[in-house]
Structures are given as structure tokens and as C-alpha cells.
Amino acid sequence: MKHLLRLSYLGTAYCGFQVQPNARTVQASLQEAATKIFDTPCGVSGCSRTDSGVHANEYLAVVEEHGTSGIPEQAVARAMNTYLPRDISVRESVRVPDGFHIRRAVAGKEYTYLIWNHPYRNPFLADRALYYPRKLDLEAMREAAPIFIGTHDFRAFMSSGSEIADTVRTVTDLRIESDGDAVRIYVSADGFLYNMVRIIVGTLLEVSEGKISPERLKRAVDGGDRSLAGRTAPAEGLYLNRVFLAEDARKGGEA
């Protein structure tokens, strides 16, 4: 029996989602909670890997229950939260077919990156936003944003260490919004490479700083040269914001 969970978490205290030896992870916390409420060892699979310190406004995970607990589906989320730490919250649960696989069901994702753009730090955003005291050139950043949109080989925006061979992705939206001193960069795509969003953000920061011109950025996107792209922004400002399921997956069950 499988349960599709919609959850949120603050990633500051975790070494990412995926289980790692001798490290605190979101997946391990979910497995421990599920094992307690279903009184049997439970496997948990996630919609995406997230790095250490990365957060999630919305994350989808599947709990595989080996047995029949009799717990009503509407009570699963509340029961999970009883055993989860305060920085992880399951908001909804729905039963899905045994053949449901979360990675195959995901059609796309949206990430958002939060920047605190003010001369002084905001202590309430410590580890939750990038503190950037220099004034951002939002106009230059917005003019550069459309260069990323479309289907491209994004290998210039991937950190070393990735084993992914196919580096072509389709970015469907990239927008920059500001609300006072808070600046949010939204990136939607059918998939993401290792540190792709963080490198896009770092590149846009260097566009703002006048270090990367639109022409150089276009060469980076078209030519795949990592040296032409910008730095990798810190993990603390990155949030998985939304997860989009494919239509055929929705028929099987949607959180």
C-alpha cells in the first residue's frame, strides 16, 4: 500500500533529502515516523534529491506501507506529524496505486531562490535567504532572464561531480519578483541538473554586478562552457517550491 505525501521542510539541519550514512536527512526522518505509525518498516521515496541546507515549500514523497494498519487515509498526515521533528510537516496524504512511482510521475518542478537585499542582515532569515547587501540591478537581471528560457544544453550550469549524461533541459519560466527588500527568483523546468538553479542565480548576480554581459551569458547557454557562467549561489536561499505531476499520474492519485 502506498501513500503520496505532500510536505514542507526547513533544510538547515539536514544533509539533504536522501539517506546518507551518519548524517541527518529528511528521508530518514520520514522513514522513522512512518515505521512508528504503521508499526512496520516502511520505505520512502522522494520526488527529487535536495542538497544540504536546501528547503522545500512543497515536496512530494511516497511511503510504502508493508502491511495493513487500518489507519484512515485522512489521519495519515496528522499521525506522521506526531513523530516528525518540527522542521518537517506533512500537509496531506492520499493513497496511490501500488504501481505508482514518484520520479516517473513528476513532469516538472519550480524552484525559488530568496535573497535579502538590504545593507543589514535580517536575523529572522538566517539560513533561509541569501544576505546580499549590494543593491541589485533588477532591470539587468530581468533583461537577461529570457536567455535561459527554452530547451538548451545546460551543462554550463551544472556543478562537477554529476553523473548525468543528458544535460538538455527545458526551462519554461524564469521570473524575478521583489517585495521590499526580499527578492525572489523563480525557475520552472522539466528537470534540473546538479546545482543548476544555484548557478543560474549566481550568474544573474554577476549580471547585476556587471561581470557577465548578456552576450557572454548567451554564449554560456549556447556553448555549454562552465567558465562563462557565474558562481554557485549558497544553498540557504534555495527552495523547492512546486512539483508538477504528469496527467497520467494524476489519474492514479494526486496529493
Q: How many CB atoms lie within 10 A of CB 120?
A: 9
What number of CA atoms fall less than 13 Å from residue 148's CA on the CB side?
29
First to last CA, the chain: 15
What is the DSSP-derived secondary structure letter of residue 87?
Answer: T
What is the DSSP-derived secondary structure letter of residue 135?
Answer: P
Cβ–Cβ < 8 Å for 105, 245: yes
Query: Rounded CA gap, 69 and 217, in Å?
Result: 54
Tell me whether residue 166 is one of the annotated catalytic residues.
Answer: no
51, 127, 137, 153: the catalytic one is 51
Residues 6+ away with beta carbon under 8 Å from 144? 204, 207, 214, 217
Residues with active-site annotation = 51
